[in-house]
Amino acid sequence: MKLDDKLYLVRFNTDKLNHIKISDPKVCLNQCQDKPCTRFCPAHVYDWDEEEKRISVGYEGCLECGTCLIGCPYGNIIWKYPRGGFGVSWKNG
Amino acid sequence: MENFDVIIVGGGPAGLSAAISAANGGMKTLVIERGDYPGTKNVMGGILYTKATDMVVPEFWKEAPLERPIIEQRLAMLSGDESILAGYRDPDWAKEPYNAHSILRVKFDRWLAQQAEKAGVMIITETLVEDLLYQNGNVVGVRTGRAEGDLGAKVVIIAEGVNNFLAVKTGLAKPLKPASVAVTVKEVIALPKEKIEDRFCLDEGQGATIELYGDSTAGMMGVGFIYTNKDSISIGVGAILASVIREQWTPNDLLENLKAKPYVKRLLQGGETKEYLAHLIPEGGYTQVPRLHRQGVMVVGDTAMLMNSLNREGSNLAMISGKIAGEVAAQAIKAGDVSDQAMAVYEARLRDSFVLKDLYHYRHMGEFFENNPHLLKIYPKMFSKAAKMYLTADGTPKKQRQKEIMQMLFEQRSKGGIIKDIYGAWRALL
């Protein structure tokens, strides 16, 4: 089963505000060869945008596990919880 | 600013258990939860232990939304398409006093929150706690994300879950590292009751669990799991983040890999995925347990790294730590002393209980597996090969076959290596 189809099953109350920021996009471009965030995020929130030469962040699909905050080798992802009441809302848990 | 005796940050098993015991101790108690209601942000594999839960809500099984009492625990070691199985089954576990149940956290945590409310706890939802409030260096409450959202408290219990933002801000914990968390994904797959019971050989209503090692995590330090719910199956896989990064896996691919294993596939066949979930499991063990208290503050549950992954125990450690913290908060407030020394009673009681004793017992485990990444890669393969050689009836005399098996084992891993591994495992696990 494809990840996109799985994410379609998740219930979100999407905030207008983005709760994820890349601290310094230049670090992704120049220092980070491997871009592990594009793989280790269970929801594939992070993707390398070849045209724009930066990591694109699909915060709307964030499952709020916190892996990115810990996994980014440059500590370059500023990940916080969405505002109270927003974000993922599990049906089963 | 509204004032409370005890404010608990986070409405999971640890926080709600703390709230219940603080309220039972006569405290004006508030739980602050960021989700729509307690449960909607909460994830675990799905096993709730009876004894610990009973200590928080006596005879909870009579009312709580539980899935199935677990009567069988299986262990599987996967190597390619091969599997080695072991298990223990006791139908007595289907009756009181039980041992464990499978649960779905959205339902269960909501119910537990209702029990807290019955005990007099106030719960506010959709509210994020951003920081603690200090006065002359003493903690006096919390700052929430709401307008005019400051709330006063004599004691704050941090039960924010594995992501330890507040515990770090207070200086009690350090930011987590990739080696001390397991990134875990899970699916809840709907399947008719009868099919579940047939496939797992269960009587009506009974449940089973399977933990899968080896190729279930592509040989990485971690575990796959399959738990039976009433009319669904929870299947998931978690592995230490450092190895997931190093070996360039994506969590969903790991899960799909596990679902495709012949032994697993047949159990899930025809099921319909209802939800896909992700969560971190704190795997730092004893050496990564943060400072557990300071003046006016205690840290409980996942935030305190209270997880015994070898025995798949977490919710019980969370609930017992919460219960003790709530009791200590009530005693301290009644005595008019919420100093660090007064809060230290919480740690002393945890050390006296199985919670920190078990973590201490397994204190070498994380390091052992970290320094020996070959263990879950080569041993499942060796054991599978050995089993296949031993069980294949091809006319080879058994004496010769046993010799061949020993030869094969020592080809895969030297005698010295095997002795070293056994000694290391002995030291880490026993």
Of B265, B264, B307, nearest to B282 by C-alpha is B307
Task: Tell me the CATH number for domain A3-88.
Answer: 3.30.70.20
Contacts of A71 in chain B (CB under 8 A): 178, 183, 241, 245
Q: Considering Cα of B169, then B174, then B176, then B178, what sign does the dihedral take?
A: positive
- Cis previous bond, B97, omega within 30: yes
Interface test with B, best of A11, A15, A34, A65 (most B CBs within 10 A): A65
**Burial profile B364-399: b = 16 or more Cβ within 10 angstroms, e = fewer:** bbbebbeebbebbbbbbbbbbbbbebeeeeeeeeee
Residue B9, pLDDT above cutoff 90:
yes
pLDDT range class, residue B305, cuts 50, 70, 90:
very high
Could you give the percent of chain A with pLDDT greater than 70?
100
Q: Is B403 a member of any domain? A: yes
Q: Is B84 a member of any domain? A: no
Residue B10, pLDDT above cutoff 90:
yes
Could you give the percent of chain B with pLDDT greater than 70?
100
Q: Is B7 a member of any domain? A: yes
Domain match, B54 and B144 both: yes
Q: pLDDT digit string (tens) for B193-240?
A: 999 999 999 999 999 999 999 999 999 999 999 999 999 999 999 999
Residue B104, pLDDT above cutoff 90:
yes
- Select the residue of A9, A65, A87 nearest B278 (Cβ to Cβ): A65
Domain match, B188 and B318 both: no
Question: What's the CATH number where B226 sits?
Answer: 3.30.9.10
Residue B188, pLDDT above cutoff 90:
yes
Residue A44, pLDDT above cutoff 90:
yes
Q: Is B361 a member of any domain? A: no
Of B238, B232, B333, B346, nearest to B298 by C-alpha is B346
**Cross-chain Cβ contact A40/B145 below 8 Å:** no
Which of A52-56, B338-342, B370-374 has the weakest average pLDDT? Answer: B370-374
Contacts of B178 in chain A (CB under 8 A): 70-71
> Is-contact B278 B183, C-beta < 8 A?
yes
Q: Is B138 a member of any domain? A: yes
**Cross-chain Cβ contact B127/A84 below 8 Å:** yes
Q: Is B198 a member of any domain? A: yes
Domain, as residue range, for B417: 366-429
Could you give the percent of chain B with pLDDT greater than 90?
98
* ipTM associated with this complex: 0.98
Q: Which of B248, B282, B316 is the last residue of a domain?
A: B282
- Residue B370 is predicted with a pLDDT of 87
Q: Which of B265, B282, B299 is the last residue of a domain?
A: B282
- Residue B372 is predicted with a pLDDT of 92
Q: How many domains does chain B fold into?
A: 3
Q: pLDDT digit string (tens) for B34-75?
A: 999 999 999 999 999 999 999 999 999 999 999 999 999 999
> Is-contact B101 B61, C-beta < 8 A?
yes
E strand or H helix at B88 = strand B82-89
Q: Which of B282, B305, B323 is the last residue of a domain?
A: B282
Q: Is B93 a member of any domain? A: no
**Cross-chain Cβ contact A42/B252 below 8 Å:** yes
Domain match, B140 and B23 both: yes
Domain match, B324 and B371 both: no
CA angle B268–B273–B277, rounded 5-degree value: 110
Domain match, B128 and B17 both: yes
Mean pLDDT across chain B, nearest whole number?
97
Burial of B273 (0-12, 13-18, 19+ CB in 10 A): middle
Q: pLDDT digit string (tens) for B244-280?
A: 999 999 999 999 999 999 999 999 999 999 999 999 9
Q: Compute CA distances A22 → A72, B304, B368, whole Å.
A: 10, 28, 35
